[in-house]
Amino acid sequence: HMYSDYIVRSQIFDQILERYPKDDFLQEQIEILTSIDNRE
């Protein structure tokens, strides 16, 4: 179950990055969230 949540989140992140590719703030926030996910 955790794994599917992770996949959904990463897909959402990808969609956000595609829609706002020039948004440095968003990119940075997503990187932080992703690194937190990877630590667990």
Mark 9-27 as b/e (b = at least 16 C-beta within 10 Å).
Answer: eeeebeeeeeeeeeeeeee
pLDDT at 3 over 90: no
Radius of gyration of the chain (CA): 11
The answer to whether the pTM exceeds 0.75 is no
Is-contact 13 33, C-beta < 8 A? yes
pLDDT tens-digit profile of 17-40? 999 989 999 999 989 988 887 776
Domain spans of the chain, in order of start: 1-38
Q: What is the distance, to the nearest Å, from the Cα of residue 20 to the centroid of all Cα atoms in its chain?
A: 13
